[in-house]
């Protein structure tokens, strides 16, 4: 089956798809965050007959898991601005969608999932309300985001290495903000879901330790390559990026992870948000 073409896009996306870097990023995201995202969805009761939407589905690990849960009788629509890294399957449809620009059907889904999406969308409050309207009355929205404002180094070989890692984090934050993102929006997600009209707001917070074998740190390592042009624009040199990449592969290196927020809320069974 041919892939749908990318959605009509405005600004250049921070993370593109269809490359070796993007596929490596999707593997790291799945390894780092599926252990939080998927049990949250399972506990919410996702099961046979559910109609589900995932926006910004990336490599599709969440969508594939959902497709296995909703059979028989259910369906999953996995969308991305560029869906080249997604594959359709049983109970799983793939479509190109720019959630900031394209319409969604209203009152159509029992579940909407958005992981690591809204912090990158400047019109995130408008998009959030669009996602709420796409829910059937009583439907569930799960928004998973990272707050990158807290991820300090804990053990480094020397003070120079510590400073280099902090500089890398600061450059990445600046690059995301320059593209219209908000790397600390996750902490405001619970209030944003409530303001969008959802009830029963439930919040799970996860933080861990990054080390050379940790997929969260491998994701950071990916960013030294995947975001290299943007990091250069923020003043980092190729030599600095190569050195911080080697640092993150040092077995003695430890850092705190970013804070991962998984936030759920339900559209009221009656009324319109």
Kindly list the averaged pLDDT for each block of 10 residues, start to end, along the chain of length 273: 45 72 93 97 97 97 98 96 93 96 96 97 96 98 96 97 98 95 96 98 97 95 94 97 98 97 94 53
Task: Write the DSSP assignment of 249-265 as a string of letters.
Answer: T-TT-EEEPPEEEEEEE
Report, in angstroms and rounded to the nearest whole number, the Rg of the chain calculated over CA atoms.
Answer: 19
Taking the C-alpha atoms of residue 138 and residue 195, their distance in angstroms, rounded to an integer, is 17
Report pLDDT for 14. 73
Report pLDDT for 8. 45
Q: Please tell me whether the peptide bond between 72 and the residue prior to it is cis, using omega within 30 degrees of 0.
A: yes
Residue whose entry in the numeric block shows the structure tokens 């209030």 = 191
Report pLDDT for 13. 65
- Whether residue 122 contacts residue 163, with contact meaning beta carbons closer than 8 Å, is answered with no
| pTM given for the model | 0.92
Q: Which tokens sit at 186?
A: 């996750």
Which residues are within 8 A (CB) of 160 and not within 5 positions of it... i.e. 6 or more apart?
none
Report pLDDT for 17. 80
Report pLDDT for 21. 86
Comparing C-alpha atoms, which of 245, 259, 233, 258 is closest to residue 14? 233
Report pLDDT for 9. 46
Burial state string for 122-135 with b = 16 or more CB within 10 A and e = fewer than 16: eebeebbebbbbbb
Task: Write the DSSP assignment of 47-63 as a string of letters.
Answer: -TT-EEEEES-TT-HHH
Sign of CA dihedral 128, 67, 19, 260: positive
Report pLDDT for 143. 98
């Amino acid at each position: 089956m041919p892939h749908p073409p990318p959605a009509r896009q405005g600004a250049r996306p921070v993370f593109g798809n269809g490359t070796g870097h993007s596929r490596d990023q999707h593997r790291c995201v799945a390894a780092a965050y599926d252990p939080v995202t998927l049990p949250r969805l399972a506990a919410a009761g996702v099961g046979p007959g559910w109609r589900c939407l995932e926006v910004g589905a990336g490599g599709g690990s969440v969508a594939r898991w959902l497709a296995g849960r909703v059979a028989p009788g259910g369906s999953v629509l996995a969308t991305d601005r560029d869906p080249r890294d997604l594959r359709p399957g049983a109970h799983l449809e793939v479509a190109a969608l720019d959630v900031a620009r394209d319409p969604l059907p209203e009152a159509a889904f029992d579940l909407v999932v958005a992981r690591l999406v809204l912090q990158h969308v400047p019109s995130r409050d408008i998009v959030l309300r669009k996602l709420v309207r796409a829910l059937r009355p009583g439907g569930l929205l799960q928004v998973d985001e990272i707050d990158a404002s807290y991820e300090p180094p804990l053990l480094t070989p020397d003070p120079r290495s510590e400073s280099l890692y902090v500089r890398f984090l600061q450059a990445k934050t600046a690059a995301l903000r320059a593209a219209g993102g908000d790397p600390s929006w996750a902490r405001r997600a619970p209030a944003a879901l409530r303001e969008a009209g959802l009830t029963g707001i439930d919040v799970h917070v996860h933080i861990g330790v990054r080390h050379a074998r940790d997929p969260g740190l491998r994701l950071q390592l990916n960013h030294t390559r995947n975001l290299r042009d943007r990091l250069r624009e923020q003043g980092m040199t190729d030599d600095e990026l190569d050195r911080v990449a080697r640092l993150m592969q040092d077995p003695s290196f430890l850092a705190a992870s970013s804070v991962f927020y998984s936030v759920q809320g339900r559209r009221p069974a009656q009324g319109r948000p």
